[in-house]
Amino acid sequence: MKKRIGCSALLLGLLVTPVLLVAFAAARATDAPEAETVGKVSGIPQRMLTAYQAAAAQLPGEVSKCQGMRWTILAGIAKIESNHAGGRTIKDNGDITPHILGPLLDGSGVGGNTTRFEDTDNGRWDGTTSAERAVGPFQFLPSTWEGTGRDGNGDGVKNPHNADDAALGAAVYLCGNGRNLGDRTQLNAALLQYNHSQAYVSDVLSWIDRYSRLGDGTIRIGQNATGDARTVINPALGAIGTPYSWGGGNAQGPSRGICCSPSGKSGAEITGYDCSGLTTYAFAQAGISLPRTAAQQSHVGKRIPASRGVGALKPGDLVFFAYDPESDGTIYHVGIYLGDGQMVNAARPDTKVRTEAVWDQGFAGGTRLL
């Protein structure tokens, strides 16, 4: 079995002796295969599910007064609007090809719409200047996208044909000036604004309920997190898709890293996070300053020994991994526990921030700071 490659200290000498370094370098010489992403839901492409979860996590930064946004709401809409971009290719950056285009809204009656919508985007998003088409997995009119569109993947473009951008734009649109989408009446009103058809609202609500139902394979990430725990978890989830960078990340956010990891990977040209850089950033949002390395972070807060198992952890706890789980001096990796046996972490070079099951190998317990 291959060893997992996580992030250690920026200067390994701070953590281990030269003798141990030789042994650890041999153990870490081969990168582990990328772990299977958790939270799979039947019928939803994993990349689309990631976009829904990331948008729900990023929303407080866009509409601070909005309450109750859940990825299941976005999934319910996208199911009806595009079957989760069904039949399309969804690239790693979220771009969807070929583009999803609705019927031409020229008043001809095709697609059930007899009202003409004049072109507003000069064909930029819908490929035509003769009238409007709804575009993307959430089927925005270009005129609506102009005011609602968001850059969910941080590439500098607000693109309705990008899963991350479209999901965040939809979340913003549903929230209005600050709805409480946890209230069924307000959720109903938001969906009715999205598409003024009660039949449409009923269809979407049925899918939201289906995705939210326990026992259907859905992972309810951070479901039990409240207060400061959610303040930590939300920014960490908002970093999903950010590249791993050895030595990258700080209390202000992603940054360029350094050279080099034990496997020879340099972060000097990569803006992103390593494992402890991500936790440092997330906890800074709750006003908690963490030391920079995984091993150092294991000494902050109330220690939860590995012997108590994953079940002893609560959402918002730090979770650690070590070469020798009984020796904190060998800790090399840290993540943030989400609940339901899942964590968010920057796993290793050549990956991106992601959610996954807490690793069995090397589990070294956790610490509680909240």
203: domain CATH number? 1.10.530
Q: Are residues 96 and 118 in the same domain?
A: no
User: How many alpha carbons fall within 13 Å on the CB side of residue 36?
Assistant: 3
pLDDT at 274: 97
**Any domain includes 80:** yes
| pLDDT tops 50 at residue 29 | no
pLDDT at 80: 93
Which domain covers residue 107, as residue numbers? 102-133
**Any domain includes 4:** no
Q: Are residues 290 and 348 in the same domain?
A: yes
Q: Span 141-153, mean pLDDT? A: 94
- In the chain, how many domains are there? 3
**Any domain includes 321:** yes
Q: Span 63-86, mean pLDDT? A: 93
**Any domain includes 6:** no
pLDDT at 234: 83
With a CB cutoff of 8 Å and minimum separation 6, the contacts of 322 are 328, 330, 331, 332, 362, 364
Amino acid, single-letter form, for residue 183: D
| pLDDT tops 70 at residue 215 | no
Q: Span 206-218, mean pLDDT? A: 62
Q: Are residues 275 and 162 in the same domain?
A: no
pLDDT at 178: 92
Domain boundary among 156, 181, 212: 212
Assign 142 a pLDDT band (cuts: 50, 70, 90): very high
Amino acid, single-letter form, for residue 308: R
**Any domain includes 111:** yes
Q: Are residues 349 and 316 in the same domain?
A: yes
| pLDDT tops 90 at residue 66 | yes
Q: Is 343 in a helix, a strand, or coil?
A: strand
- Domain with residue 320: its CATH number is 3.90.1720.10
| pLDDT tops 60 at residue 113 | yes
What does the alpha-carbon distance between residue 229 and residue 203 come to, in Å, rounded to a whole number? Answer: 33
Please provide the DSSP assignment of 84-105 as one string: TTTTSEE-TTSBEES--B---B
With a CB cutoff of 8 Å and minimum separation 6, the contacts of 14 are 293, 295
What does the alpha-carbon distance between residue 71 and residue 237 come to, in Å, rounded to a whole number? Answer: 12
pLDDT at 287: 94
361, 243 Cβ separation under 8 angstroms = no
**Any domain includes 116:** yes
What does the alpha-carbon distance between residue 329 and residue 326 come to, in Å, rounded to a whole number? Answer: 9
Span of 60-69, 274-283, 324-333, 351-360 with lowest mean pLDDT? 351-360
- Bridge partner list, 320: 334
| pLDDT tops 50 at residue 30 | no
Q: Are residues 310 and 254 in the same domain?
A: yes
Domain boundary among 133, 149, 177: 133
Q: Write out the two tokens for 82.
A: 């595009």
What does the alpha-carbon distance between residue 358 and residue 310 come to, in Å, rounded to a whole number? Answer: 8
| pLDDT tops 60 at residue 120 | yes
Q: Span 325-336, mean pLDDT? A: 94
Chain position carrying tokens 């064909």: 123
Q: Are residues 120 and 157 in the same domain?
A: no
pTM score of the predicted model: 0.51
Q: Are residues 204 and 330 in the same domain?
A: no
**Any domain includes 2:** no
| pLDDT tops 50 at residue 8 | no
Q: Cis omega (within 30 of 0) on the bond before 60?
A: no
**Any domain includes 344:** yes
pLDDT at 305: 94
Span of 53-62, 73-82, 207-216 with lowest mean pLDDT? 207-216
Q: Span 247-274, mean pLDDT? A: 95
Domain boundary among 189, 212, 235: 212
What does the alpha-carbon distance between residue 232 and residue 285 come to, in Å, rounded to a whole number? Answer: 6
Q: Span 297-301, mean pLDDT? A: 96
Assign 108 a pLDDT band (cuts: 50, 70, 90): confident
Q: Are residues 23 and 78 in the same domain?
A: no
Cβ count within 10 A of residue 215: 5
Q: Write out the two tokens for 47.
A: 């990349």
Q: Are residues 227 and 306 in the same domain?
A: yes
Q: Are residues 319 and 191 in the same domain?
A: no
Q: Let me know if 184 is exposed, middle or buried by CB neighbors in 10 A (0-12, 13-18, 19+).
A: exposed
Q: What percent of the chain has pLDDT over 70?
A: 84
What does the alpha-carbon distance between residue 249 and residue 237 come to, in Å, rounded to a whole number? Answer: 15
Q: Are residues 176 and 253 in the same domain?
A: no
pLDDT at 225: 60
Assign 317 a pLDDT band (cuts: 50, 70, 90): very high
Q: Span 134-143, mean pLDDT? A: 94
Q: Are residues 320 and 276 in the same domain?
A: yes
What does the alpha-carbon distance between residue 161 and residue 149 come to, in Å, rounded to a whole number? Answer: 11
pLDDT at 224: 53
